Structure 1
Amino acid sequence: MSYIQGYDPDTLREIVDPHRCRERLDEIGGQRNLPAMLERVWLLKVLDDLDEALTVADAAVRQARMAGTRRDLLRARILHATVLQFRGSYAAAIAEMTTCAAEAEGQGWSSIAAFALEHRGKAHFDAGDYDSARADFKRALFLRQESEAPEDQLESTLMAIDTTERRRAEASIAV
């Protein structure tokens, strides 16, 4: 079940129902399996409990490194990087997502590469680097189209491109 109701057209952040997210957090509880941990990280992140999200993300990366697949580890690292982004650590988030995107593309895992690139684009966007954000979103769109991603993923990427182009235009007018 998706908890995402849409994306804020100005910030590119997920729009969620906080009540449903908290209910799901309660359901998951302290489960230690990797899918539950990753879901907890995301829920904590969108609920703005970033300290706890980072703690759980660190544990999820360790668990994926010890007992998961390479794909699991990439997903955990990308999610960890999104928490860093939300905390304002853009350089660290971008560096981690860059490594993950390169590894995923090298393995031919287009959907994971697109996921990493879209989130790296969001980190660039938050940092005010709209040219880099736009390039990442366009590459993510290409990979998603190539891998026949679901329509909602294509739409979120297209919205990110539109928002970034609007911000670039606003920034150039302000200068």
Structure 2
Amino acid sequence: MSYILGYDPDTLREQVDPRACKDRLDEIGEQRSLPALLERVWLLKVLDRLEDSLVLSEESVRVARMAGTRKDLLRARVLHASVQHFRGAFAAAEQELSSCAYEAEGKEWNAIAAFALQHRGKVHYDAGDFAAARTDFKRALFLRQESGATDDQLESTLLAIDAADRRRPSAVVAS
């Protein structure tokens, strides 16, 4: 079940059903598997429980480092960076996402690279660097297309490109 109902066209944040997210969080409880930890991190993040999400995201990175695959670790690091982003730590989030995107692209893990670039684009977007955001979103779109992403993923990236285009200065758009 997807808890994402859509994306805010101005903030690019996920629009979720808070009741369904809270119910799912209760259902997961204190499960310690990596997939459960990552899901809990995301649910806490979208419910704006950022301190709890940060603590759990740090734990998920440790668990992935000790018991997961390299891909698991990258996914956990991207999610951790997205929590940092929501908390306003743009520089830390950008650095982590850049590292993850670089590693994933080097291994040709296009879906993970796109995931990292989409989030890095959102960091640039919130920081007001709409040209850098658009560049990241365009690269994420290409990688998502290459990896056979779902229509929902492609649509969210197209929405992000459109949002960045709307906010760039008109002189830049015309070039």
Q: Which bracket does the TM-score occupy, shorter chain normalised? A: over 0.9
Deviation string 1:47-95 (CA, Å, 9 cap, x unpaired) is: 0000000000000000000000000000000000000000000000000
1:81-92 matched pairs, under 5 angstroms = 81-92=81-92
Note the C-alpha offset of 1:165: 0.5
CA 1:48 to 1:102, structure 2 compared with 1: closer, same or farther past 3 Å?
same
In 1, Cα distance between equivalents of 2:169 and 2:99 = 30
State the match for 1:129 in structure 2: 129
TM-score, L = length of structure 2: 0.96
In 1, Cα distance between equivalents of 2:133 and 2:167 = 11
In 2, Cα distance between equivalents of 1:9 and 1:170 = 19
Local SS of the residue matching 1:131: helix
CA 1:26 to 1:171, structure 2 compared with 1: closer, same or farther past 3 Å?
farther
**Do residues 41 (structure 1) and 41 (structure 2) align?**
yes
State the match for 2:159 in structure 1: 159
Runs of 4+ with deviation above 6 angstroms: none
Note the C-alpha offset of 1:148: 1.7
In 1, Cα distance between equivalents of 2:119 and 2:78 = 8
Gaps of 5+ in 2: none
CA 1:10 to 1:46, structure 2 compared with 1: closer, same or farther past 3 Å?
same
State the match for 1:17 in structure 2: 17
In 2, Cα distance between equivalents of 1:151 and 1:116 = 18
Local SS of the residue matching 2:15: strand
In 2, Cα distance between equivalents of 1:84 and 1:171 = 32
TM-score, L = length of structure 1: 0.96
Deviation string 1:126-150 (CA, Å, 9 cap, x unpaired) is: 1111111000000000111111211
Gaps of 5+ in 1: none
In 1, Cα distance between equivalents of 2:170 and 2:127 = 15
In 2, Cα distance between equivalents of 1:159 and 1:101 = 21
In 2, Cα distance between equivalents of 1:5 and 1:169 = 30
In 1, Cα distance between equivalents of 2:18 and 2:128 = 27
Task: Report the aligned-residue RMSD.
Answer: 1.2
State the match for 1:62 in structure 2: 62
CA 1:101 to 1:124, structure 2 compared with 1: closer, same or farther past 3 Å?
same
Note the C-alpha offset of 1:169: 3.5
In 2, Cα distance between equivalents of 1:170 and 1:151 = 30
Local SS of the residue matching 2:91: helix
Local SS of the residue matching 1:88: coil
Local SS of the residue matching 1:74: helix
